[in-house]
Structures are given as C-alpha cells and as structure tokens.
Amino acid sequence: MSHTRSIDVLIAGAGPVGLSAAAELRRRGVRCRLIDRLPARLPYAKAVGIQPRTLEIWDRMGLARAVLEAAVPMRGQLIYVNGREQARIDLELPPEVPYGFAALPQYETERLLEEYVRGLGTAIERSTELLSFTQDADGVTARLLTASGGAEEVRTRYLIGCDGAHSTVRKGLGLGFEGGAFAEEYMLADVEADWDLPPGYGVRSMHRTDDGATDDLLVCIPLPGAGRYRMSMLVPPELSTQATEQATDRGPEQTGGVAHGLEGGRIPELSHIQAVVDRLAPRPATLSTMRWSSVFRISHRIVDRYADGRVFVAGDAAHIHPPTGAQGMNTGIQDACNLAWKLALVINGEAGPALLTSYDAERRPVGEEVVGRTVRHATHGIEADPDDPRTIMLREAQLLVGYRDGPLADSPYGPTGAPQPGDRAPDCAGLTTPIAAYSLRLFDMLRGRTGHVLLLYTAEAADLADAADAAGVLRMTGSGPDTSDGPELETGPQSPRTIAVLARETASTDPGAPAVPGYRDAAGEFARLYRPEGPTGFLVRPDGYLGARFPLADTKAALSSYGAALSAPA
C-alpha cells in the first residue's frame, strides 16, 4: 500500500456538489484532492434545472457567463389534467434579481465546473474509490482504491462526502438516514419532440381518476437543442420490478439499500416513451433521437447530522427527495458553498474549528424543508401549494434560503422588512463612479472576491473615516489567545474588503480621505433594497449572505462581535 503526504481536504465524489466544493476551496488557496470512482462523466441529463440562486453563486466565482452561454432559459410550466390545460405558470422574478431560471444537462454542468477547477490547479482523479476511513483529533486517514488497482492511504485534515445517495462516507460515519420511498417507478429519456409548444416551457400532464388519484404522468423539461426535452413518466408493467419485489419481499428497502436514482439493466425503448406521449402530450408529437433512457426510483431521506468531527456530507449524501422543482442539485451546491468558505477560514487560521459546527446548524434545516416541500409537491402538485405565487416563485428559485436562526446571525437592526443578518444579500443596479460611463450592479463588485465584504452606506463622505479606519486595520480571527472578549482583532491583510456606497443625495462625489472604493447609489436602488437607517454598515459573507448589519459608528464593535461568532464554542 502506498502512502501520501497530508492534504487539507479530500473530496469523495466529483459530481456538481463535489466540483463546487473543490472550486470554492481552491480559489481560497486550500489544497484538496477530488476523487471519483467513475472513469468518466456519465452522459445523462439527470439534474437539469439551474436555479437563480445557483447562478448568483457562480457569478461570484466568475463562472456564470460560461453557464449562460451553454444553458437555455426556463420560462414556465404548462399543466394539463385529463387533456385540458389547468394552469400556466410563468417563472417571473422581481426585476432586481439578476438571473432567471435555466436548464442545462448535468454532464454539461459538470464539464463547466471541471474546467473551472482544472484552471485552479486541481484535476479529478477518476477511477479512484474511497474504500474506508478513520478519524482522530488531528485528521482523517482514508484508504483509496486507485485507477491502477492498487491501494493508497491518504492523510487529510478533513473529508467531504459528496458521493451520492449510496454514500460511502455517510455509511462510514454511521449517520441516520431516515425517510421512505415512493412506490412508483419512473422512466427518464432524453429525446426530441416535433410539437409546437412554446419554447422554454416545461410540461406536466396528468391523468386523474374520478377519486382524484394520478394514474398516468408525463413531465417534460426543455434542454439545449431544437425540440429537445428530458422526459419522465411512470414505468409500464413490462419494465416494472414491483411484482418481483412483492413476490420475494426483497426490495431495496428490505436489503438495506436506498431505492433512489437511475437503475441499470432495464432500458426503456423509444416506443415506451412514445406510448406515454401519445396518451398524455397536449399536442401530437413524434419523438426521435433518443440519446439515453433509464428507469429510476425516488426516496425521501435526510441524515440526522451533516457532520461528525472532521468528516462532512453534502448533496445527495445528506438528503434525497423527489426531483420536483429542480431543488436537489442546487441545494447540494449551496451545501458545498456554505461548507467550503468556513473550512477555508479554519484551515487558513482565520477562524476557530468551532465555526464548522455552523454548517450543520445552517444547512440541515434547509435540507429538511426541501425534502418536505418536494414530497408535498410530488404528491399534490405545486399548484396546490397554499402560499402566494410570489412566495412560491422566490422559494423555488432558492432566493428565500436564509440563516436568521443560525449561530452566525447577529441581532436584527433596522426597519421591519429590511434584509437582516442571515438573509441573502440582494443585488442592486444603478451604482456609478466618476470614471465609468456606465452603471454597475452590486454583484459586479462582489465578483471574484473570496472573503467577507464590508459595505459602508452614508450620505456624508466624512462619515466614512472612522468606519474605514476600523475596518482597514482589523481582521477577524479565532487563532489568537483566548480572552474574555472573544477572538482578538489584529492588523493584517485579511480585513474584510471595504466598499463605500454613497447615497444618491451625497453632498460630495469624493468618497473622502479613506482609501475605500466609492460608488454612488445614483438610482437609489441600494437604499430601496437594503433600507439603511442613516449611515449603516453591512457585512456580506463569502457565500453572499449578510453576516452583520449595524450603525456605521459601531463598525469596530460589530466586526468584533461577528468575529466572536466565528469562533464561539460549539
């Protein structure tokens, strides 16, 4: 058995979640290895929906443009019941949201992320499988089966399991994975249809019996390419395994497996897909060019904790649920983003290890909500959701995900309805400088940044002096000596990046003496969306959520308080 030197993070699984974790770690200078047991990307359009919040994350990474060039817009959904149109849902968001909904085959998402990670110096180690691991107070020892067939022992500070519904990492930790399975079996197919439905709209067509039960189903999601869709539907009797499982009483649930995901061996033919389209499609259509097909099953489960010591799970390794609303992959990518910036701070000595406990505290409630909601929508349809349409749309876009109740959220400050610590930091347009002949978005200033960003809003440039001084000489760290006041505040290069946002009615265009980039809120959009009360500071976390909101005069105290939260005892 060969042995390798210690690395910072080992990531098991190179799907969209593992690749996102590697991307966020590598761009913060963290050494990591990314392994995957498969020899190549699977050519299947499994997860295809890209949520606006995911595009915001990729915007900050600098990846959004590449995705926009490859994806197609998702404009809405047409819902049919027993051949009649019942609803038309248009996917419309408030104008300040910078991105809409998109569709892209999972293998294309993985290709773009893989190219991004490779540009940061890390390549996927394919045909390499995690066999087992043990952990101690100082790190994790992992045993790998390499592409050459030999065994390798790796010493790593942390291990992240992004290895899917049948996760070796989850099983190795002995995590609970409670939930259940849907009795129905489904087919998936990537095909082209020659119908005349409006482009960019998905289709959900159902047949319901007199008692309201759905006994036939067709769901079509548009993909890049003329008339191309990923279609899903119930499995016909000749492809079903239910009769065999009932006769032997030995289904996946009884043998200790998880009935979730694609299955091998049963490959639907184009005729199987065409038969369902003939029954349920709202327009006559002839299918062609089937790129792949499979049978899949759905479970709904979530782990009892997202971490144990130095080992973490993310994505399908932590939560599985129906694909309704394209929540799974996007939720997993947010898991990876949330964990990676915290790991980077700890590994780089800028926060204490206790910060990592906030990963479970912030993300597991999100996973629980997503599992529950997708099960309800799969059972009753999104049209039966009791919330108002605007709330439903923002929630499906994952723009309402927040951490107000998490351990890093400071006390609320400002008017009711204003963005608070733990909320997503909204984008805004109309920011100008004396040099640029065009206006900018707030996200333009955040793009490419890997750390916290401090926004200082004021109508008087002179008010910036004290706040900028406090922000410019302080950094938040949990690595210093213990004091009754929490982590010490030191001078150093790790200070939050500071940006001044000068109100539209600012007396002077000069941002003042401090060397702080200044932007004028020329359209008043920042004031409208952030609702500052007088001179106000906003600390934006590396994952795009507000870490703190405070009066500008309290900048030093606010940063000290937030720094203490980063290293508060578990």
* pLDDT for the residue 476: 43
Residues in Cβ contact with 32 at an 8 Å cutoff, skipping those fewer than 6 apart: 7, 8, 9, 10, 11, 21, 22, 25, 26, 122
CB 351 within 8 A of CB 488: no
pLDDT band, very low/low/confident/very high, at 453 (cuts 50, 70, 90)? very high
Does residue 511 register a pLDDT over 50?
A: no
Cα dihedral sign, 475-480-481-487: positive
Does residue 349 register a pLDDT over 50?
A: yes
pLDDT band, very low/low/confident/very high, at 517 (cuts 50, 70, 90)? confident
Burial of 501 (0-12, 13-18, 19+ CB in 10 A): buried
* pLDDT for the residue 263: 54
pLDDT in tens, 243-277: 444 433 434 443 345 555 455 566 899 999 999 99
Q: What residues pair up with 546 in beta bridges, in sequence order?
A: 540
* pLDDT for the residue 110: 97
Q: Which of 276-280, 433-437, 492-496 has the highest mean pLDDT?
A: 276-280
Q: Helix or strand or coil: residue 566?
A: helix
How far are the Cα atoms of 199, 388, 408, 495, 560 from residue 563, in angstroms, in the given order? 49, 38, 9, 11, 5
CB 183 within 8 A of CB 242: yes
DSSP string spanning 376-391?
HHHHH-GGG--S-HHH
Name the nearest CA neighbour of 181 among 76, 265, 263: 263
Q: What are phi and psi of 270, to 5 degrees?
A: -60, -35
Does residue 488 register a pLDDT over 80?
A: no
* pLDDT for the residue 491: 33
Does residue 486 register a pLDDT over 60?
A: no
Q: Helix or strand or coil: residue 408?
A: coil
Rg of the Cα atoms in the chain: 25
Q: Quick one: average pLDDT of 174-180?
A: 92
* pLDDT for the residue 259: 53
CA-to-CA distance for 321 and 124, rounded, in angstroms?
27
pLDDT band, very low/low/confident/very high, at 471 (cuts 50, 70, 90)? confident
In this structure, the number of other CB atoms found within 10 A of the CB of residue 313 comes to 30
Q: Helix or strand or coil: residue 73?
A: strand
* pLDDT for the residue 472: 63
**Pair type for strands 177-193 and 72-73:** unpaired
Q: Helix or strand or coil: residue 179?
A: strand
Does residue 144 register a pLDDT over 60?
A: yes
**Pair type for strands 201-208 and 76-81:** parallel
pLDDT in tens, 376-434: 888 777 777 788 889 999 999 999 999 999 999 988 888 989 999 999 999 999 999 88
Position 374: which residue type? T
* pLDDT for the residue 241: 72
Q: What are phi and psi of 159, to 5 degrees?
A: -125, 130
Q: Quick one: average pLDDT of 100-124?
A: 96
CB 23 within 8 A of CB 112: no
* Summary mean pLDDT of the chain: 87
* pLDDT for the residue 566: 83
pLDDT band, very low/low/confident/very high, at 515 (cuts 50, 70, 90)? low
CB 400 within 8 A of CB 391: yes
Identify the residue whose tokens are 């799974």. Answer: 328
Q: What angle do CA 124, 127, 129 make, to 5 degrees?
A: 95
CA-to-CA distance for 73 and 102, rounded, in angstroms?
4
DSSP string spanning 511-560?
--SS---EEEETTSHHHHHH---SSEEEEEPTTSBEEEEEEGGGHHHHHH
Q: Provide long-range contacts, Cβ within 8 A and 24+ apart, for 233-239.
A: 233/186, 233/187, 233/273, 233/276, 233/280, 234/184, 234/185, 234/186, 234/187, 234/276, 235/184, 235/185, 235/186, 235/187, 235/268, 235/295, 236/272, 236/275, 239/185, 239/187, 239/266, 239/268, 239/272, 239/295
CB 448 within 8 A of CB 467: no
pLDDT in tens, 55-88: 999 999 999 999 999 999 999 999 999 989 988 9
Residues in Cβ contact with 169 at an 8 Å cutoff, skipping those fewer than 6 apart: 12, 130, 133, 159, 160, 161, 163, 311, 313, 317
CA-to-CA distance for 61 and 28, rounded, in angstroms?
11
Identify the residue whose tokens are 């213990």. Answer: 482
When comparing pLDDT for 192 and 384, which is higher? 192
What does DSSP assign to residue 106? H
CA-to-CA distance for 451 and 364, rounded, in angstroms?
23
